[in-house]
Amino acid sequence: MGRAALYLRVSTGRQAENDLSIPDQRRQLQSYCQAKGFTVAAEFIEPGASATDDRRPEFQKMMDAAAEKPAMFDAIIVHSFSRFFRDQFQLEFYVRRLAKNGVRLVSITQDLGDDPMSVMMRQIMALFDEYQSKENAKHTLRAMRENARQGFWNGSRPPFGYRTVAAEQRGLRVKKRIEPDPMQVETVRLMFRLARIGAEDGPMGSRQIADYLNVRGIRTQTGGRWGVGAVHQILTRETYIGRHRFNVSGKRRGERKSEDEIVDVEVEPIIDPDEFAEVQETMRSRSPQLKAPRFVAAGTLLGGVCYCADCGGAMTLRTSGKGGQYRYYTCCTTARREDRLQRPNDPNGRAG
């Protein structure tokens, strides 16, 4: 029959423990190839990846191999079409892309031909798989929201400064909560103190705090160096005042859920609410979006704050004396007028 590539995928650890485990898929696919006369040329194993999109490293590696001329194999063998894709449109797109280079997609549990009836049956199966995937996701999210309402943690990595602990046993499942991590909690408090008071020269911004931590060898949860984004996320996260928000954003980048979909989870606070509010106000006052760029980095204390009582124009800092020895504020409108009067006129009578 030709050369075959085996594609094996599970989307969750729970599936890996049941009948869709990687070893079981491999055994079934190898038996099918032996019975049909296929020679196994390659294996692509995707543990813990959803089939609702193509953001899968092994999947992309397999498609690149299938696009070579000539292709490394004549067929891709899967347990079911849902192992390949759970999106009907994407499934058909990639089936046609494979066919252009002479590669077939074969499901050992849904063995179909290439005639119009078989194509229609594959499309109907794919539609059912897509529907089932969306229904499963909906029910899973509903269960996770209820779990969060009860104050339990849903399994992702907790924010820096917290750790997961077993709360209660329900059958075979252990329900977990989060609590302050003694190994990290003081670092969180240090970051808020630096943002509010600073070390020597007043309150620090996110970049200064990141540098401060990195120089002293204080690392992130994963042992990496601190970046501006990570510091800013901690300083603005309400979890640290005892209010963790679950289901805030969707899969699409920048997509924010409505308030009735978001669940507030009560957790033990690390930072006092008044201190948190003071840090937010300090960060807003430093934000470049609230001030003109010249006032964010400049050393003009009253820039953008002090205005002329006569004309309402902004006040600007001027210098005088030898080497700019003296500094003073003056109305920028008056200053421009004085500058024009001091310049020599050009031959046409205009101010130079």
What DSSP character marks residue 345?
B
Q: Which of 310, 305, 304, 301 is nearest to 331 (CA)?
A: 310
Strand, coil or helix: 222: coil
Q: How many CB atoms lie within 10 A of CB 135?
A: 10
In the residue annotation, 11 being an active-site residue is answered as: yes
Backbone dihedral region of 293: left (phi > 0), alpha (psi from -120 to 50 degrees) or beta? alpha
User: CA 273 to CA 271: how far, in whole Å?
Assistant: 6
Beta bridge partners of 317: 329
Q: What is the number of residues in the chain?
A: 352
What DSSP character marks residue 249?
B
User: CA 8 to CA 20: how far, in whole Å?
Assistant: 9
- Rounded to a whole number, what is the distance in angstroms from the first to the last CA of the chain? 87
Active-site positions read: 11
